[in-house]
Every structure is written in structure tokens, then in C-alpha cells.
Structure 1
Amino acid sequence: MSEHLLLAPLLESYFRRRLTKQRNATPATMASYRDALRMLILFAATRLRKKPAALVLEELDRDLILAFLDELEEKRNNTIATRNACLAAIRSFFHHVAAADPASFGVAQRVLTIPIKRAHINVTHHLIKAEVDALIEAPNPRTPRGRRDRTFLLFLARTGARVSEATGVNANDLQLERSHPQVLLRGKGRRDRIIPISQDLARALTALLAEHEIASHEPRPIFVGARNERLTRFGATHIVRRAVAKAVNIRPALAQKPISPHIFRHSLAMKLLQSGVDLLTIQAWLGHAQVATTHRYATADVEMMRKGLEKAGVAGDLGVRFRPNDAVLELLNSI
């Protein structure tokens, strides 16, 4: 078999040329695609009883990749979303193969016809205002850690930021002196956005910066750990768990909910939707690439309304309703 069909040079050119230079992929995308292709190669090597370096492209045919995707779900118990994410990485690689090696176009084309698997969309879990407030108030304000925890939880609740966005914020990303304070969030896929922040969050951030003697123009992280390093995803999760452990004494229902840092994002989205903010505004606020992602909140809201009517003995079909968004800032400060 010809050398140009060996996997090694194609993989090297994919990561070095296509993702890095042509696509300008983020480190997170690079890591995700690397892990997906690594799992595929190890699966193929085990299945074909060959060393990974000895694999050739034609051995990664459509049937083998379908078997790999099935194993993700059946043996690894991965979700359909994870399966589709792995398939996206594989398809990206085979797009590169088709362009880089015309002789392999047939192999690539057969792989590229593998469809994304449709998944059932569950109703999005979220918290009511009283539960969010209980979590925010849980940390001890008399300790440095408690003040940091409270500000971090307030940041998640008021901005709807992803964990990586919240932990990645630096002091110079904030504009707290404006009449309407705002923050720059660095989203997935370099989708940066500037969003307004509430007055209570602005006050908490101002106090936190002063406590740590951080000037507003400095590119220093706002949320740091015990060793003064940037807060990690694990640290963020630990903050939320500590707050839940204390808040359940006031709100016992919290013990029955799957609470992670991401639930604050869902909770803000549902609050905005139920207050009349349109989906396009919520999409821009949360940094979703597609409005279809945002639409699940409308679906969840309709489902809750339907269950309420059924409980009250009222039948009928409900449609998604949108109201004009003319007071988002006022709403933000009233949350």
C-alpha cells in the first residue's frame, strides 16, 4: 500500500496545518479533536491487532468508525452528544484527508456520509430565584474565601457565563466605572462578547479587586485559588458544592437537583425568557453559536406551562410566545 495513505503524515499535517494555521483553532478545540482521534486510533489498533503507527488510512473505513461510535455509547456509556462530538472531530479530519490526498477521496467521502445522531432533548434543569439567592448567600462573608466564593457565585448567576468564561475573566475585562457596567467574556470558538452586569455584581467585583489590590487596567485574574493562581474548573465546582451543602439547610429541595456551575447559566436563561426577553437576545447574551441551542429554553418553558395546565385540569396546545425586549438592563438589576 502506498506511503501517502499512512495515517501518521496525514494526522501531522491535519494538526499542524489545517487546525493550527488554516482554521486557527482554539487550544480547547485542538485538545478535544486530539482526544477523539486518539481514541479512534487506539480502537482501530486493538480491533485490527496492529500497532497504531502501522495503521493506514483505508483501514479507517466507514464500518470501523461506526463500530467505534457504537462502542462509545454501548461500552463507555457516553451520551449521544459525546458521540456526535467525536464524530465531528473525525469528519473534520476526513475533510482534510479529501483535500490533502485526492487518492483517498473515496474513503473520506464514505466516512463523511455518517450522519449525526439525533438525541432526545431533556427539559433543562434550572433553579428558581429563591434557590439561586440561597446559594449566593451561603458563603461566609467574614472570610476572604467566603467573599470570593460569594462574588464568583454572583458572577455565574448574573452573567450566565460558562465556567471557563468566568474563571478566565481578568481585571482589564471589566468596565465597572460606566453608568452601565459591563464585562468582556471570551466564549467558545473565540466568540467573545460584551454583556452588561448588575449593580450588585459590580459592587462585589469592585470590593474583591480592592481586597486583592488589583488595578482595573491589569490583566490579572479576578478569581484565584488558595495559592493565588487562576481558579480552575475543579475549584469552581468545589465552590458550588460548598454552597449547596450549606444552602440545603434553608432550601431542602436543592438536595434533589443536579447542581453544577452550569445550572446558573440555565437559570438565568429561563429567567430572561420568562421575563419577556426574546431568543435572539438570549442567544447573543449566552454566546450560543446557533439559535437552535437557545430554543431549548423555550421548549422547557412551554413544557413547564403544559404540566401546570394539566395539573390544573386545563387542556390545549401551547405555542412559544415572545414579547418585546425593551428593559433588559432594568430586568438584570431586579434579578
Structure 2
Amino acid sequence: MLDIGDLDAELIGGFLADLEAERGKSARTRNTRLSAIRSFFKYVSVNEPQWLHHCQRILYLPPKRYVKKVIDFLDAKEILALLDAPDTNTWHGCRDRIILLLTLQTGLRVSELINLTLNDLEFGPSPAVHCLGKGRKERTTPLRKDTVHALRLWLRQRNDPIVDTLFVSQRQQPLSLDAIERIVHRHVNEAALKCPSLSHKNITPHTLRHTCAMQLLQNGVDTTVIALWLWHESIETTQMYLHADMQLKENAIAKTTATDVPKGRYNPPDEILAFLEAL
């Protein structure tokens, strides 16, 4: 049986190095593992004070720096192409289109999407979807009219539910994370035939969440509101969308005025020099 003393800084440092060198994991994955390890040893240091010094050495292990990639997102033309890809005359097409539309409009994570139930939908005067988000936080997101219409179509196609899960297979089984990924991948490939720019992007279900955020940002919604919409724990997470949109940067620089100050050292005219000398 392992003891706390067996898990020292050297062993954990070796484990983190092995993640990258032998298992081919990214620096970001390495840092995620380190974060979990730190949480555990913070708990140990508080509840088992005799291990405080041992835990501190582990808590001092630094995260690894890495280059953050600019996020991919869909533009308006690509969104329309993707939503046009499913054949809504079929059972699967009707389901797939509302999965894509709901994710694009709400920015739900895949884990939140697949756990939605029929009771999570609200079709009253203020239509909304309720879900249990990251960190088991309750989240409510308003729905647009087109999303509500597509949801109603899907519920009619869905037939009498055996389970109350909103999105199911034709055998009435809840969809998995992998199933959602396959749905997105399939329809991206179909949409790329009419919109070739899609083939140059690495589009995953999370890309649709990014697209939701970018749509809000491009329509003038403040980043603090976007952070609340997506349930980001930190506003810093939302700042990445500002860096991703070149059009926003171009609009910002267009509002600045060019300076006409000549280069070189400033030489005052004789009148100013004479005035200063007379003081």
C-alpha cells in the first residue's frame, strides 16, 4: 500500500515528464494533471499537518508554459452551411439539426447537452433550457424563437419517450459524448462540400461553444455577460475570444487617429526660445 511519503516531488515530477515524453500528452494535459495533484496535497496539508513540509515541496512544482493556440470558430456563412447539412425530413436529420442549433445558440458543453431531460425545457412566455453545469452549478439559458421551433419539431419526431433524456438514439438510448462528436464530424464534412472553408478548420463540438461566444461578442455583448452566459469561473477565460477575432481588432484600430508628429528631436522655433530666455 502506498503511503503519502512515497508520493514525493521527485516521483510526481517524473510522472509529469513521462506524460509528455512517453505518452505523448500535451503540456496543457500535463498541467491539468498537476492541478488535480495539487488539490489533493492541499487537502492533505490541511487535514494531516504532519505532512505539511512534504506537501509544500509538491505544491511548489511549477506548471509548464505552452503556446496557446488561437481558437477556431465558425463565421456566419459556415454556421448556415452546417445547419443546412442535416436532412430534416428524416428522424436522424431532425435530431441532429436541433443538436447543432441548440449548441450554437446556448453554448452548452457536450456533457451538459447529453444530460438534458424533457423537464429541462421551458416553453412559456420566456422559453429557456435548464441544466446542471460544470461544478454542479444550475444554469438557465434563454432560447430564441427558431430554436424553440426546432425543439418542438424534434419532440414530435421523438415519439413516446422510454427515457426522459432529450437526445436519444432511434432505439431510445441516451447519446454518448462520442455520438455527439460523430454527429458534428459527419455534418461538418457534408457542409464542407458547399462551404470549403470548413474543411480547413478543426471543428469539434466545443468549437460550436466557441462560436456561440464569438457571435455574442461580435454583436456587442460585453465579456462579463458572455462569461455569465457560458458559466466561466473566471473572466480571464472569456478574454481569449477577444484575441481570436481579427475583425474586432481591425475595428478598434480604425477608431484610433494617426499621429502626424514628425520623427526626430523636437526643435522649437526662435520665437519660443526668445520668449523662454526672457522669463
How has the CA–CA distance of structure 1 residues 161 and 82 changed in structure 2, closer, same or farther, with 3 Å as cutoff?
A: same
Tell me, yes or no, if structure 1 residue 107 matches structure 2 residue 51: no
Aligned residue in 1 for 2:179: 235
Answer yes or no: is the 8 Å Cα contact 2:94–2:153 preserved in 1.
Answer: no
Aligned residue in 2 for 1:117: 64
Aligned residue in 1 for 2:240: 296
Q: TM-score of the superposition, structure 2-length normalised?
A: 0.84
How has the CA–CA distance of structure 1 residues 88 and 315 changed in structure 2, closer, same or farther, with 3 Å as cutoff?
A: farther
Aligned residue in 2 for 1:254: 198
Aligned residue in 2 for 1:201: 147
Tell me, yes or no, if structure 1 residue 85 matches structure 2 residue 29: no
Residue by residue over 1:47-99, the C-alpha shift from the partner in whole angstroms, topping out at 9 and shown as x without a partner, is xxxxxx3x332232112212211222222222222111111111122122223
Query: Residue 140 of structure 1: which of 84, 87, 99 is its match?
Result: 87
Answer yes or no: is the 8 Å Cα contact 1:269–1:282 preserved in 2.
Answer: yes
Tell me, yes or no, if structure 1 residue 225 matches structure 2 residue 225: no
Matched letter for residue 183 of structure 1 = V
Offset of 1:256 from its aligned partner? 1.2
Aligned residue in 2 for 1:24: none
Offset of 1:210 from its aligned partner? 2.4
Aligned residue in 1 for 2:134: 188
What's the secondary structure of 1:153's corresponding residue? helix
Tell me, yes or no, if structure 1 residue 71 matches structure 2 residue 18: yes
Answer yes or no: is the 8 Å Cα contact 1:80–1:117 preserved in 2.
Answer: yes
Matched letter for residue 209 of structure 1 = L
What's the secondary structure of 1:194's corresponding residue? strand
User: Distance between the aligned counterparts of 1:214 and 1:204, measured in 2?
Assistant: 18
How has the CA–CA distance of structure 1 residues 65 and 315 changed in structure 2, closer, same or farther, with 3 Å as cutoff?
A: farther
How has the CA–CA distance of structure 1 residues 89 and 223 changed in structure 2, closer, same or farther, with 3 Å as cutoff?
A: same
Matched letter for residue 145 of structure 1 = H
Tell me, yes or no, if structure 1 residue 280 matches structure 2 residue 227: no
Matched letter for residue 114 of structure 2 = T
Residue by residue over 1:259-312, the C-alpha shift from the partner in whole angstroms, topping out at 9 and shown as x without a partner, is 1111111111111111110011100111111111111001222x45557999x9
Answer yes or no: is the 8 Å Cα contact 2:73–2:208 preserved in 1.
Answer: yes
User: Distance between the aligned counterparts of 1:253 and 1:141, measured in 2?
Assistant: 24
Of 95-104 and 184-193, the range deviating more from structure 2: 95-104
What's the secondary structure of 2:199's corresponding residue? helix
Answer yes or no: is the 8 Å Cα contact 1:280–1:291 preserved in 2.
Answer: yes
Answer yes or no: is the 8 Å Cα contact 1:279–1:295 preserved in 2.
Answer: yes
C-alpha root-mean-square deviation of aligned residues, in Å?
2.4
Answer yes or no: is the 8 Å Cα contact 1:87–1:116 preserved in 2.
Answer: yes
Which is higher, the Rg of structure 1 or of structure 2?
Answer: 2
Aligned residue in 2 for 1:47: none
User: Distance between the aligned counterparts of 1:173 and 1:214, measured in 2?
Assistant: 17
User: Distance between the aligned counterparts of 2:211 and 2:171, measured in 1?
Assistant: 31
User: Distance between the aligned counterparts of 1:282 and 1:214, measured in 2?
Assistant: 36
Residue by residue over 1:186-234, the C-alpha shift from the partner in whole angstroms, topping out at 9 and shown as x without a partner, is 211112211111111101111212232469xx98111101321111111
Aligned residue in 2 for 1:325: none
Answer yes or no: is the 8 Å Cα contact 1:172–1:219 preserved in 2.
Answer: no
Matched letter for residue 190 of structure 2 = K
How has the CA–CA distance of structure 1 residues 159 and 200 changed in structure 2, closer, same or farther, with 3 Å as cutoff?
A: same
Query: Residue 158 of structure 1: which of 105, 120, 126 is its match?
Result: 105
Answer yes or no: is the 8 Å Cα contact 1:97–1:104 preserved in 2.
Answer: yes
